[in-house]
């Protein structure tokens, strides 16, 4: 069963999402050559505890406050002792627990200028927005998945099929599972549902493998991740974690 949020609950998530987006804006400024990723995590934790707490720390034993994934790392990499190099592809994934509810978002950028990754980053972002603009009550989550997959493949990239979006609220991961590729038999979208859409795409094959907490591409190709927390309200779809 997919939890339906009240307007009051969505308002709490809206407030938390605004805070999380502000934190993410500060973290993005720290992505630069020579930066130790542990410093970014330390900053994130200090900001989270001003308002609530980090959603990720302790979740399934995850030891840090945010995920910082570099280059061939897809998602869920721990901010361990690594220095960001010029041109690195850097994914920041963060969640905030605020007034009893989680919000979650992710963005990928490069440290310094690197035109090699511009199309890959843009494709994930545009895939999100294309799906978001089509959200309406009564459609199926699989319809959103198909929009993402079709756009990504049109741009010449690949959906990493093992990873997906999810419902969110009092729990960090709630029903439903939202694939980034066409699936049959998915649930209908209803007003009051809050969920994370997160295109996760790559420039190689779709297979990934797990190394510690992180998922990495099997063929050593690059990937990008773009995510927002979305609510379907009485006024239509809304990004709760908008920058």
Q: What is the pLDDT of residues 30-89, one digit of tens each?
A: 999 999 999 999 999 999 999 999 999 999 999 999 999 999 999 999 999 999 999 999
Does a structural domain hold residue 1? no
The number of domains in the chain is: 1
Is there a contact between 228 and 6 (Cβ–Cβ < 8 Å)?
Answer: no
| Total-model pTM | 0.96
Does a structural domain hold residue 105? yes
Residue numbers of the domain that contains 63:
7-239
Cα–Cα distance measured from residue 93 to residue 69, given in angstroms and rounded to the nearest whole number = 8
Does a structural domain hold residue 170? yes
Residue 116 has what pLDDT? 87
What's the chain's length in residues? Answer: 243
Is there a contact between 233 and 6 (Cβ–Cβ < 8 Å)?
Answer: no
Does a structural domain hold residue 57? yes
CATH number for 225: 3.90.230.10
Q: What is the pLDDT of residues 45-62, one digit of tens each?
A: 999 999 999 999 999 999
Does a structural domain hold residue 2? no
């Amino acid at each position: 069963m997919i939890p339906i949020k009240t307007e009051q609950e969505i308002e709490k998530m809206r407030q938390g999402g605004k805070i999380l987006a502000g934190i993410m804006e500060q973290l993005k400024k720290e992505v630069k050559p020579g930066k130790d990723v542990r410093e970014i995590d330390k900053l994130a934790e200090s900001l989270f505890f001003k308002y609530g707490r980090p959603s990720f720390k302790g979740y399934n034993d995850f030891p840090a406050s945010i995920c910082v994934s570099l280059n061939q790392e897809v998602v869920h990499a721990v901010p361990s002792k690594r220095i960001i190099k010029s041109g690195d592809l850097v994914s920041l994934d963060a969640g905030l627990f605020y007034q009893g509810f989680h919000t979650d978002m992710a963005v990928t950028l490069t440290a310094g200028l690197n035109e090699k990754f511009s199309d890959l980053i843009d494709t994930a972002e545009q895939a999100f927005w294309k799906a978001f603009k089509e959200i309406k009550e009564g459609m199926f989550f699989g319809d959103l998945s198909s929009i993402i997959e079709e756009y990504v493949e049109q741009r010449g990239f690949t959906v990493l099929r093992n990873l997906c979006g999810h419902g969110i609220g009092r729990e960090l991961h709630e029903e439903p599972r939202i694939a980034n590729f066409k699936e049959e038999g998915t649930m209908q979208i209803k007003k009051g549902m809050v969920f994370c859409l997160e295109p996760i795409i790559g420039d190689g094959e779709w297979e990934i493998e797990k190394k510690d907490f992180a998922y990495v591409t099997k063929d050593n190709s690059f990937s990008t991740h773009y995510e927002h927390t979305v609510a379907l309200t009485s006024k239509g779809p809304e990004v709760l974690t908008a920058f």
